[in-house]
Every structure is written in structure tokens, then in C-alpha cells.
Amino acid sequence: MPRDTILTGHVLSFHANPLTNPAAQSARISEAVLIRDGHIAASGAIDDLRAAAPDAQVDRHDGHLICAGFIDAHAHYPQTAIIASWGKRLIDWLNDYTFPEEMRLSDPAYGARIAERYLDLTLAHGTTTTVSFCTSHPASVDAFFTAARARGLRAAAGKTCMDRNAPPGLCDSARSAHDDSAALIARWHGVDRLSYVITPRFAPTSSAEQLDALGALWAAHPDCLMQTHLCEQIEEIAWVKRLFPKARDYLDVYESHGLLSERALFGHAIHLAPRETARLAESGAALIHCPTSNSFIGSGLFDIGQRLSEGQRIGLATDTGGGSSFSMLRTMAAAYEIAQLTGTALHPAQLLWLATGAGAAALHMQDRIGNIAPGLEADLVILDLASTPAIAQRHARADDIWEAVFPTIMMGDDRAIRQVWIAGWPYDPQ
């Protein structure tokens, strides 16, 4: 039988949502966490846990932060090799970088190498769950899920569907989008820790017929998530208006084709109209904030304070490779900076929640991941709070845990990742 394990350190758990409740008071710092059978058994004082599990192995990480593994709620693993490509707006970036690279994943062997590389890179940065767009090739979905399953990860992904305004080598059809996705759902959805996500890329690359087909597929598989893009750039919104002149707005394109519910994930959602914000809040759909991408491609500033005041559900994401980092620490830092520009100062507890519990709630997986609480899966990241000289000298002056953590959020990278645990086991990249 697997041995009980106790990890010691600053164990961060949340008993309330710090985005909607007093931030520091929503969190709890404990001395240790007990892991049993791949799950969190308890957290609390080390003496209490040792009494509850006298035969447990004790792994000491004193002085380090132990929190739930990071959740990246919107990524494009096929764009791994083209991350940090210079100087383009969204449509140019797609045509010049994204589409040519995605066509390379028609080769299953290349897709497998990119999937392996992507998951190795993200695990090295403390990400334990990713929601990814694949390409229009079903083999790209197989590659991602095969690599995630081999690592024991909880992961979600889907075949990117598009039947127009893209190179012929990447286009499918309304019928093949439906049938390929249905076959992939049957093959992967619910296998081990994997979930399928119905994935129209965005309105400009799907005809009304394809959106109808995917809406029908979602109605047949309502336990799946649906992911797409919404209101990322002003030019994109104008393009959608030309393509769908009868739609009330961008969101209405999806809604009119059965692609809006509480299990929808809308990437970016920066430039929303009042009707859209009201309808999104009413539906319970999630808005996925991609701060490094929004600044890198010049899309705009996501106003998190405004969105929270509307009651929106929000997740956080790298948007690799439009985003400029694989790191959720860097993504938290960017979220803080963009929030400052829009008049909101996010507390360190709120930033860590965005990268963990908020993402889990957006994915409707809060009963499995995203927090350190009894019964949840033991996906954890252990952060060295003095990983570089610059961070260490600021950490040395900290008066409380939040001052100790914040420099790592703002300046940390993969050097801050002391250890990653997947389903109760330390991850060994070898």
C-alpha cells in the first residue's frame, strides 16, 4: 500500500473565495499536510497529523510555501515552439506564426514531441492542470492526452474546429468537426484524469453550420466543457460583426448556436458590451483572463475589478503561445500589473486563488483540485520563497506570510519551483 506522507512548510488553503471575501481572512496557513492514497487527508499542526498517521513519512519543506498546483485555464500547446514571436496583432499572428506551426502537427510524431515538451515545461513551472486547444488534427488531441496520461495529470483539451478563414490544411467541415470531436469524446473523456473540451477556435473561423453542429454535440454531451475566444481585440469584434451581421453582439454568435452555458470558457473577454456582461454573469460562464497575452499582442486591459463587481466567474491562464511565458507565477504578476492599471490592487491571496481555486471553479473541478482540503486530489506545488538573490533579500524583510510570498509572485520563475506533486506523488521528470 502507498505510504502516508506528511509535508511540512507554510501550507496554504482557502476556506472562502478571496476575490469576493476579505482576502487574507479567506486563507489559512498550517504547519503541515497529510497525503493519503493520492488525496489530501488533512492539514493542520504537525503534531496532530503525526498522531493521526504515526507511520507517515515526513518530508520537510520548512520555510517554503505549499499550495495547490497551478491551473492554466486557457493554452495552445501546439504553439509551444513559436512562443515569443515578434511584433504582430492577433490576425497577423495567426496567419504568420500560428497557422503554419499548427499545420506541422499534421505529423503525429511531431505533435507527440511538442506535447511532451509542453507538459515538461509547464510542470517545471508548477502547472498541474492545463486546458488546451489542440489543432484540427485528431492526432494532436491523442498526443496531448497520451502525454498527460503518462504523467498522471488532470488535463482537459479538444480538437480545434474551423471550417473557414484559415489555410485549407487546417480546415475541417461542419460534419467532420462534429464527428471527429464525438469520436475523441468517446476515446478520451473521463479516462483517468482527462476531460474533453468542445473547441470552436473562434467565431471568425467557424461557419454558422459548424457552430450549429458543435452546439448540437455539446447538447448531447453536456458534461463536457466548451472553450473558445471572445472579444479579444477591437478589429476582431468588427470582423465578427461583418461575418454575422444579424447577431446582437459577439457573444450572441455563440449563444444563438447553443454555445453558452455555465460550462463555457471564454478566453480574453476584454472588450465586452453591456448586454454581453449581463448575459455572461447570468449564464455562469467563465471568463479566462490571459494577461501576458493581452499585453504581448496588444489586445487591451482586462478590468478584473469591474468583472468581479458584475459577478463574473474568472479563471487565469498563460494563453501559450500568444502569452509570453509558460509560468503561472509570471501570469499572476502580469495580472497584478494589469489590475493596477485598471484601478484594482490584487492581494497575494487573490493572485494565488486565481491560479488555483478560481481556475478549478471555472472548470467545475473544485471538488477535485484547486485547494488543499480533505478529499481533494493531492496536486501540489512547493515554492521556494527565496529562490534568487533578489527575491531572498526582499523575503528577509517580510513581516508576515503575504510579504514573504509576494516577491516570489512578482519575480519568481521555474527556479522557485522546489517540487511538484501529482496525485499524491512527487513528480520526477526522469
Q: What is the span of the domain harbouring residue 56?
A: 5-68+370-426
pLDDT tens-digit series, residues 366-389: 999 999 999 999 999 999 999 999
Q: Are residues 150 and 217 in the same domain?
A: yes
The verdict on residue 333 lying in a domain is no
Percentage, residues of the chain above pLDDT 90: 95
- Among 271, 295, 326, where does a domain finish? 326
pLDDT tens-digit series, residues 93-146: 888 999 999 999 999 999 999 999 999 999 999 999 999 999 999 999 999 999
pLDDT band at 249 (very low <50, low <70, confident <90, very high): very high
The verdict on residue 64 lying in a domain is yes
Going by C-alpha positions, the residue among 366, 383, 394, 368 that lies closest to residue 420 is 383
The verdict on residue 362 lying in a domain is no
323: DSSP letter: S
**Confidence at residue 1, expressed as pLDDT on a 0 to 100 scale:** 47
The verdict on residue 357 lying in a domain is no
pLDDT band at 61 (very low <50, low <70, confident <90, very high): very high
Q: Are residues 82 and 108 in the same domain?
A: yes
Q: Are residues 87 and 233 in the same domain?
A: yes
**Confidence at residue 2, expressed as pLDDT on a 0 to 100 scale:** 63
Q: Are residues 82 and 36 in the same domain?
A: no
Q: Is the dihedral of CA 147, 150, 156, 159 positive or negative?
A: positive
Alpha helices in 189-326 (DSSP H): 208-220, 234-243, 250-255, 274-283, 291-296, 304-309
The verdict on residue 338 lying in a domain is no
Q: Are residues 164 and 16 in the same domain?
A: no
Q: Are residues 127 and 251 in the same domain?
A: yes
The verdict on residue 347 lying in a domain is no
CATH of the domain at 193: 3.20.20.140
Domain count across the chain: 2
Q: Are residues 47 and 85 in the same domain?
A: no
The verdict on residue 280 lying in a domain is yes
Q: Are residues 107 and 193 in the same domain?
A: yes
Q: Are residues 108 and 41 in the same domain?
A: no
CATH of the domain at 387: 2.30.40.10
Alpha helices in 192-265 (DSSP H): 208-220, 234-243, 250-255
The verdict on residue 202 lying in a domain is yes
Average pLDDT of the chain? 97
How far apart CA 158 and CA 10 sit, in angstroms, is: 36
